Amino acid sequence: MKLLLDTHIWLWSISEPHRLSRRVARELDNPENQLWLSPVSIWETLLLYRKGRIKIFDDFITWVDYALSKVPVNEAPFTLDVARMLPKISLPHADPADLFLVASAAVFDLVLVTADRTLIHAPEISVMAN
């Protein structure tokens, strides 16, 4: 299975794995699954860090390198195909990061792993709820 980690799932897998459901933790640890991350999640993490909503033990770039080594992922890049998918996404809110994640999951045929209740019901993609 190809799993796209929502930003909070990625952060929890690095520093708060106890927040992951048993099923999600098991699937993230399964070597047969591929883990994917959008650069949008790194941008979203930077915003959280700058707002003081998350603490990082080092400078941001060093922490990102650490996080990517701790939980190796494939990149789900922001491509023209992802951009073309954006108008087809219907979410009940206008969070740009969520739009990009759903569009990426649709284009790359990924299962979005999330605890976000608004994303769990996104009709365009497959979702694994935490």
Domain harbouring 47, CATH code:
3.40.50.1010
Ranges of residues in the chain with a pLDDT under 70 are none
Q: Read off the pTM.
A: 0.94
Residues 52-82 pLDDT 10s:
999 988 899 999 999 999 999 999 999 999 9
pLDDT score for 123: 84
What lies within 8 Å, CB to CB, of 21 at 6+ separation is 129, 130
Between CA 83 and CA 60 the distance in angstroms is 27
Measure the CA–CA gap between 28 and 13, rounded to whole angstroms: 8
- Domain tally for the chain? 1
Q: Are 21 and 13 in contact (CB under 8 A)?
A: no
- Could you list the residue range(s) of the whole structural domain that residue 40 is in? 2-129
Can you give the pLDDT at residue 57?
81
Question: Residue 18 contacts by C-beta under 8 Å, 6 or more apart in sequence?
Answer: none
